[in-house]
Amino acid sequence: MIDFGLLCPAPQRAHLGGGRLELPLPLRVVIEHDAQALYASVARVIGGWPRPPARIDAIASVRTQGELRLGLERGLPAQGFDLRVRTDGILLEGADERGLAYGLECLGQILRQLAHDPQAVALELPLLEVSDWPDFPVRGYVLDVSRTRVPSMTRLRALVRTLAALRINQLQLYTEHTFAYLGHEEVWRNASPITPGEILELDALCRAHGIELVPNQQSFGHLHRWLIHERYRPLAEVPEGVEHAFSRQREPFALCATDPASLAFLGELWDQLLPNFSSASFNVGCDETFDLGLGRSKALCDRHGKGRVYLDFLKALEKRVRARGRRMQFWGDIVLQHPGLLAELPREALALEWGYEEDHPFAHNLDAFRKSGLEFQVCPGTSSWQSFAGRTHNMLANLESAAAEGKRTCASGYLVTDWGDRGHLQPPVVSWPGIVAGAALSWNASSAGAVRARLDELLDAHIFGHEAAGLGKLALELGDVYRTTRARSTNGSPLFFLVAFADQKFPHERVQNLTREGLLEALESIMLLRVRLEGRPAAPRGAADELGWVAAMLAFACRLGVTRLAAPEGTPLEMLPQAERRRLARELEELVGTQRTLWLESSRPGGLEESIGWLTRPLALLAT
């Protein structure tokens, strides 16, 4: 029996008939027209089926019983397809090449549900009909590769293939300083950056899989990793530095918007970056420019307003992006603070509305963009960062709200974002629940209830593999352990902040209402989950090992919190009872060692020491 609920994404319409079709194996595939244009994508998709067909033909006039016939039907919705299993064979029609490929992916998922002998000469299929199309034309994934963790090329290649199977058709690698710009080696020397040649390879792989690889380079704020170097400091808005959330010390953060040298600097970077991408789009960032008007542009901001100065710089960027044959994307948080200026934004620009909490005001913000007449896309998140384990409840509510409001306001795209704030300590496995749920919702926003109910099964079926059945449920439950503490925090888990800010005052302002009882209850839940994890078979991408580290890290955070609450208020970490410190130090030292091993299995060495610093700082204090 076929379970449509295990298809990902869930189809818009699906119906099981009453009969059966016996398919001779290996299956014959006939491309009825445009065979030369369609062959490459058809061959790529069916090559991943459980029993790849022995032959692909372009003979439309000769029919055989039980074959798969492929064609295009221009009347279908863009990227859509109709799949029909009939008594005489299988007919798949796509609106376009992408729709045909998505239909083949759907059929492949159906075939995987039918257990059969690999030596069998025939396969029985139920008669069925699937009509499918996406709610959002653009369905993307934005991965942070700048906050210490840069994935290996092996990991990036595997990521592309999995994203394509989930019908995600855009990928962005969020970049601050991790592209290997020639002549700027001091900025990226220790970061294991992505090279131009690697981008060319990745771009070609993405195109082969129907994915647009969009260049992404922060071009206003978030340039502290450049501006801390004396060579670039004169470009900063506040050269002497400001306090900001992405560093532990004062640093210059944003470019000076009124300095022509800022535009010249960006132009030189762009001219190295953009030729490596085939995409006609370019994300220039420009979010969180909170130091604008605090330094060199203060006089102009006082005279004309921060919004006007920001808008003028954004328009200057857009003009230069357009001159390079690209369309500018930008994060929309700053312009929303100045709604009177929305009408003046360049009409060719694309606004990206981001928000990561379950109560983010997508409805209000998207309505503002819609009224402005500007094209916009909605950008929720995986809730993986600053958590160790993710935040399952928040992630689902955030993704569902973005899908519902994005569809209501006719957003042209849905981008799932995945960040690495404070060391990107969460392993890659933690992102998969958000990626899978986001892929499903961006295709079919009305499937929210089914996605929430069966996300664990979807993870097992499409990410971890059926041999690791149950791993999806464990991942989701680990991602909700933080709620058991009943402590409050935003943009992260209180258990994460207990560790990351362990060398600062306790309790830290990022953690509210922390109690011994809540921590012990969370610890009990974690230990039960660890028992279930032990002895499980290894899953693809080392997911079981990564979840084991996550569970151990959460348990350490709980024990650390209990110890600190037992000490007199205000006791610094290094002044806790020696026996407790030594016990916690041994536990954390083992976790640091495991993290080093796991990191290098998926990511490049650059950034590892900086990331581990979020753990070794408290370790050093515990070990005193």
Tell me, yes or no, whether 31 and 118 share the same domain: yes
Q: Which residues on adjacent β-strands are paired with residue 70? A: 31, 92
> For residue 43, what are the CA distances in angstroms to 29, 36, 209?
10, 11, 11
Question: Nearest to residue 129, comparing CAs of 6, 13, 27?
Answer: 13
The total domain count for the chain is 3
Which of 102, 132, 162 is the endpoint of a domain? 132
Do residue 52 and residue 161 come from a single domain? no
Q: Are the C-beta atoms of 417 and 463 separated by less than 8 Å?
A: no
What is the DSSP pairing of strand 122-132 with strand 13-24? antiparallel
Give the model's pLDDT for residue 291.
96
Q: List the Cα angle 493/566/507 in 5-degree steps.
A: 40
pLDDT, average across residues 122-130 = 93
Q: Which pLDDT does position 248 carry in this prediction?
A: 86
Question: Cβ(18)–Cβ(125) under 8 Å?
Answer: no
Rounded to 5°, the CA angle 327-333-336 comes to 100
Least confident stretch, 17-21, 62-66, 436-440, 620-624:
62-66
Whether residue 436 is found in the same domain as residue 481: no
Lowest mean pLDDT among 38-47, 296-305, 391-400, 609-618: 38-47
Q: Classify residue 255 by its DSSP letter.
A: B
The model's pLDDT over 455-505, given as tens digits with 9 standing for 90+, comes to: 999 999 999 987 777 999 999 999 999 999 999 999 999 999 999 999 998
561, 592: one domain = yes
In this structure, what token pair is assigned to residue 120?
């069998």
- pLDDT range class, residue 209, cuts 50, 70, 90: very high
What's the confidence (pLDDT) of residue 537?
A: 64
Residue 541's pLDDT band (cuts 50, 70, 90): low
Segment 187-198 mean pLDDT: 97
Q: What's the average model confidence in pLDDT over 347-356?
A: 97
Q: Are residues 118 and 144 both part of a single domain?
A: no
The answer to whether residues 295 and 355 belong to one domain is yes
| Whether 442 and 485 share a structural domain | no
Is-contact 283 329, C-beta < 8 A?
yes
CATH code for the domain in which residue 552 is found: 1.20.120.670
Split at pLDDT 50, 70, 90, the class of 49 is confident
CA dihedral 323, 329, 335, 340 (to 10 degrees): 60
pLDDT at 169 over 80: yes
Alpha-carbon 591 to chain mean position: 25
Write down the pTM of the prediction. Answer: 0.97
Tell me the mean pLDDT in the region 607-613.
Answer: 97
Residue percentage of the chain with pLDDT more than 70: 98
Instruction: Reply yes or no on whether the pLDDT at 60 is more than 60.
Output: yes
Contact assessment for residue 41 and residue 96, using Cβ atoms and an 8 Å cutoff? no
Instruction: Determine the pLDDT at residue 275.
Output: 98
Same domain as 180, residue 48: no
- Decide if pLDDT at 58 tops 90: no
Predicted confidence (pLDDT) at residue 507 exceeds the cutoff of 90:
no
pLDDT of residue 33: 85
Range of the domain at 77: 4-132
The domain that contains 325 carries what CATH number?
3.20.20.80
Note the pLDDT of residue 534: 84
Average pLDDT for the chain: 95
Amino acid identity of 98?
A: R
Distance, CA of 290 to chain centre:
25
Domain boundary (132, 165, 197) is at 132
Whether residues 313 and 421 share a domain: the answer is: yes
**Single-letter code of the amino acid located at 259:** D
Phi/psi class of residue 210: alpha, beta or left (left: φ > 0; alpha: ψ in -120 to 50)?
Answer: left
CATH number of residue 59's parent domain: 3.30.379.10
Same domain (yes/no): 116, 146: no
Task: Please write the tens of the pLDDT for every residue from 259-290.
Answer: 999 999 999 999 999 999 999 999 999 999 99
Domain boundary at 405, 431, 463, which?
463
Cis? peptide before 26, omega within 30° of 0: yes
Q: Please determine, for residue 531, whether its predicted confidence score (pLDDT) is greater than 70.
A: yes
Residue whose C-alpha is closest to residue 458's, from 440, 478, 480: 440
The whole-angstrom separation of Cα 178 and Cα 6 is 38
In terms of DSSP bridges, do strands 327-331 and 28-31 run parallel, antiparallel, or are they unpaired?
unpaired
Strands laid side by side in the 413-418 sheet: 212-214, 170-174, 138-144, 413-418, 375-379, 350-354, 327-331, 281-283
Per-residue pLDDT, 539: 55
Closest CA to 428 of 157, 175, 159, 615: 159
Amino acid at 504: Q
- Chain-centre distance of CA 396, in angstroms? 14
pLDDT at 322 over 70: yes
DSSP-derived pairing of the beta strands 122-132 and 81-86: antiparallel
- Residue 316: which pLDDT band, with cuts at 50, 70 and 90? very high
Query: Within this chain, do residues 269 and 359 fall inside the same structural domain, yes or no?
Result: yes
Instruction: Report the pLDDT value the prediction gives residue 164, as an integer from 0 to 100.
Output: 97
Predicted confidence at residue 25, as pLDDT, reads 84
| Residue 114 in this model has a pLDDT that exceeds 90 | no
pLDDT mean over 182-201: 98
Largest CA distance in the chain: 85
pLDDT band of 137, cuts 50, 70, 90: very high
> 208 and 94 in one domain?
no
